[in-house]
Structure 1
Amino acid sequence: MHASTERLYQAAKQMRDVSGQSAVARLLNESPQTVKNWETRGVSRAGAMTAETVIGVRAAWLLTGEGSMSAGSTSPIVINQTQAVMESEDLVRIPLLANCGSMGPGNEMLDADYVVGDLALSSHWINQHIRPGNIRELKFIHAHGESMAPTFSSGDVLLVDVGSRDPSSIEGVYVLEVRGQLYIKRVRVRMDGAMEVSSDNTNIKTVDVLNGDHQLNVLGRVVWAWNGKKL
């Protein structure tokens, strides 16, 4: 077995009490075949970044074995619930949804918001950095694709405020549903009042103007990406 995958299994067991190929795949919202492939080829960079967010293990340690296993106490995410009780009684569990947003051609939307896990955030950190209208309207989703680079990388975990759905009041990056497909795009209001949807990647930049003919549903605004970027 590849050394990076051995370290992944070690971290999942030690930090989340999860063991076995299938259980680790569910934890990371990956297919069992993907995790099986990692046993031979090694954990992908995107997989390591997801593990850093979901498990709390350092991506660099997973990939190289260098440094410490833990992502450290500077992260606002608290993974171990026993540790969480000891360190703070002011935690909020944020659901991690199975739905994934596409930074590309679109991902098929599931028929419901299936929760595959959760991450604990300090409410103090949330109120200091995010200031949502309602903490209970925060959700985590994975993002895949390259159209929003360098703002996001494929595999980033995004914190979405599903209570913020009006781009005319706050311009930013939104999760959009169009004909059953999920997208992550930047939305701004033009001077003529029309809404413009675009990608950040200059190599594949696309711009669409919403003229009322689009069957579009705004599902929420991206407020933080777990590469540490506030939106």
Structure 2
Amino acid sequence: MHTSADRLYQAAKLLRDISGQSAVARLLNESPQTVKNWETRGVSRSGAMKAENVLGVRANWLITGEGDMTSGSVIAPREEFLPATPTATDLVRIPLLANSGSMGPGNEVLDSDYVVGDLSLSSHWINQYIKPGNIRELRFIHAHGESMAPTFSDGDVLLVDAGSRDPAAHEGVYVLELHGKTYIKRVRMRMSGMLEVSSDNPTIKTVDELNGDHEVRVLGRVVWAWNGRKL
């Protein structure tokens, strides 16, 4: 089997619990014969781009195997699909904060980051897929609203790396504090050197430029997401 097709099947199993040629074909809206051809010839560029949109895997990773599998803005596998069975010593407790981020008009910021609970993750999984600078900087928050659909949905639980606060160095989705409210927005660097803040939802897409006049606090970068939908 071609290595790119093997990577595609690995990603489909890990991220969507989908196995087999026919199931992957249905997921990508391709014919089974097309996917079968990929097994011998390799995943096409258009197929890799479609997998990037549907699965969240990087097209370049699918084709070349280089870099990270995902960009971090995808739905995480359920615990039973983690690459290694966690043990008591392998588990890391990540705090769940009372503060939440808005994918819409903004949520009021609480006076402090109250911890309302925690979720346990395998350190092996964290180091393999998240690769934070410091595991102790990871936090969970809830997200509300529709402005980041289809990347995230209302009610998703987001894993945030509070140690990653420089959008100029690492473009992605960030938790921002502005005028006493928190927002979840995509931040990227323009060719002008200014930071662009936008929503992913094409029906309500808004774009703003941070030119230094805004008093914006970057609270962390979203590195993964869990949701309550059955995948």
Corresponding position of 1:191: 191
Partner Cα distance (1:219, 1:208) in 2 = 18
Corresponding position of 1:143: 143
Corresponding position of 1:67: none
Amino acid at match of 1:136: R
Partner Cα distance (1:119, 1:93) in 2 = 6
Partner Cα distance (1:203, 1:214) in 2 = 25
Secondary structure of the residue aligned to 2:81 is: coil
Asked if 1:107 corresponds to 2:114, the answer is: no
Partner Cα distance (2:81, 2:189) in 1 = 36
Corresponding position of 1:166: 166
Percent identity (aligned): 76
Partner Cα distance (1:115, 1:167) in 2 = 26
Partner Cα distance (1:101, 1:128) in 2 = 26
- Where structure 1 has 5 or more consecutive residues not aligned to the other structure, the ranges are 1-70, 79-83
Cα offset, 1:88, TM superposition: 3.7
Task: Note if contact 2:82-2:125 (Cα within 8 Å) is conserved in structure 1.
Answer: no
Amino acid at match of 1:100: S
Cα offset, 1:133, TM superposition: 0.1
Cα offsets for 1:63-101 (capped at 9, x unmatched): xxxxxxxx762258x9xxxxx7xx442111000000010
Task: Note if contact 2:96-2:115 (Cα within 8 Å) is conserved in structure 1.
Answer: yes
Corresponding position of 2:223: 223
Secondary structure of the residue aligned to 1:73 is: helix
Partner Cα distance (2:79, 2:170) in 1 = 33
Cα offset, 1:216, TM superposition: 0.4
Partner Cα distance (2:227, 2:192) in 1 = 34
Partner Cα distance (2:79, 2:110) in 1 = 34
Corresponding position of 2:204: 204
Q: How many residues align?
A: 151
The 5-angstrom pairing of residues 64-75 of structure 1 reads 73-74=80-81
Corresponding position of 1:152: 152
Partner Cα distance (1:227, 1:188) in 2 = 25
Corresponding position of 1:5: none
Corresponding position of 2:182: 182
Amino acid at match of 2:206: T
Cα offsets for 1:21-49 (capped at 9, x unmatched): xxxxxxxxxxxxxxxxxxxxxxxxxxxxx
RMSD of Structure 2 on Structure 1 (CA): 2.0
Asked if 1:128 corresponds to 2:128, the answer is: yes
TM-score normalized with structure 1 length: 0.62
- Where structure 2 has 5 or more consecutive residues not aligned to the other structure, the ranges are 1-77
Corresponding position of 2:53: none
Secondary structure of the residue aligned to 1:128 is: helix
Corresponding position of 1:94: 94
TM-score normalized with structure 2 length: 0.62
Secondary structure of the residue aligned to 2:98 is: strand
4+ aligned runs moved over 6 Å, structure 1: none
Partner Cα distance (2:175, 2:82) in 1 = 24
